[in-house]
Structure 1
């Protein structure tokens, strides 16, 4: 019970530290910008007189996965995990009853919550915007299908976080995660239609989510294995870096 209480306390502390962070203003950008762009396309373009939900949702999902989510979540993870080093509070933190595993897990949970809020807020807004213009019937089956797709997106993007966290911890800076995000977005566009799309971790959320013009090369099993491996390797490297760097 003490461990659970201690972990919850650390998580609350992390959220308190984030209250005034300007980086959180990027979350609405990621959540709402793709929705507004897709909505505008259907609302203003005569080529789309009616909202076809499959196209509507799929276009938004692709934009989030290929561009917005990679940049935002890398920025968030890099900031949250590196700030203790940049502010020189990492050593003093462990003078309190906070274990290194709790330090890592609490930050990971905070980022998971932020990812969940961002992606689900985007989904809810997308639905509401679509209902304001001419649309085909939104059936329960369609709604459930894309709800599951967005939840799966949360899981996939969360699996990438530990590796980004490792870069922030190891380099004690937010810069490497940002560089990784830029490189990942660029490579994502390059490998999307190649056999490497389920080998490159940052392409997998797009490939395994609903997307337009089904890809020629899609190995779902390999994609899941790569994501799980990325999560495990990133977690191990992050924990080792925390133990090594804290004196």
Structure 2
């Protein structure tokens, strides 16, 4: 498995899609930094560090996280068909389930590293525009938030891998990304919003005035666990049974 993981990392290294995914998240940090430096409406000195980080968290959980992760996911799982190398891959003696999980592990590593770097970069840029100290308690609290984000975004990936495997094209990434973002806008303030799994990362993190006052935590846990298990089963079934022609 480790050897397959290294191969997938090498295949992804330096690709335009990887850079696009990184740039999307980098622009998120840059946009929030610009908002705090270019407008008197936002101030770390006045509002505190937690509000500053919350603005970054909301944007990632609401829009840019899905853009970055889904583009990369569909690319990783559909690239063999796009490059017409799938026959060599699927006729190799390596079990397809191991191939699937090696690719999934690459995506999970990217999610974890990118979110931790987003936190670190946000903190460094924030210290340039305030004299308010970033205390150890705030750092630990925010790391807990970002750790939960890693877990929740990771649980939403398998269903996207199924879409990529099923349709074997990069286009589903764009369609899925647009659908998720549009439904987030529509459903985030509705009753039962947590039963739509893609609102869960937003609603289970600090989200300001977005969403309803009451968050149905059990409903959110059930919905995101259900979509994780369903996506994993569908993706594995499709990947194992996929034809080589």
TM-score, normalization: structure 2? 0.93
Aligned to 2:174: 178
Report deviation, 1:71. 1.2
Greater shift, 195-204 or 230-239, is seen at: 195-204
CA contact (8 A) 1:116 1:154 kept: yes
CA contact (8 A) 1:162 1:238 kept: yes
Name 1:87's counterpart in structure 2.
83
Distance 1:209 1:230 in 2: 19
- Name which of 110, 120, 143 aligns with 1:114: 110
Give CA deviations for 1:177-203 in whole Å, capped at 9, x if unaligned. Answer: 320110100110111111232111111
Q: Matched residues in 2 for 1:60 and 1:171: separation?
A: 33
Q: Which runs of 5+ in 2 are unaligned?
A: none
> What residue number does 2:15 align with?
21
Partner of 1:227: 224
Preserved contact between residue 22 and residue 68 of structure 2 (Cα < 8 Å): no
Q: Does residue 24 of structure 2 align to residue 30 of structure 1? A: yes
Counterparts in 2 of 1:140-155, with a 5 A limit?
140-155=136-151
* Mapped partners of 1:31, 1:180: distance in 2: 18
Q: Which runs of 5+ in 1 are unaligned?
A: 1-6
1:95, CA displacement in angstroms? 3.4
- Of the candidates 54, 66, 69, which is equivalent to residue 58 of structure 1? 54
Q: Render the CA deviation track for 1:36-73: whole Å, top value 9, x for unaligned.
A: 12112222222334441121010110011101011111
The CA deviation at 1:229 is: 1.1
Contact preservation (8 Å) 1:120, 1:150? yes
How far is 1:216 from its partner? 2.2
How much is the aligned-residue C-alpha RMSD, in angstroms? 1.5
User: 2:213 aligned with 1:216, yes or no?
Assistant: yes
| Other-structure match for 1:76 | 72
Is 1:30–1:64's contact at 8 Å kept on the other side of the alignment?
no
Q: Distance in 2 between matches of 1:27 and 1:95?
A: 30
- DSSP-derived class of the 2:198 partner: helix
Give 1:4's aligned residue: none
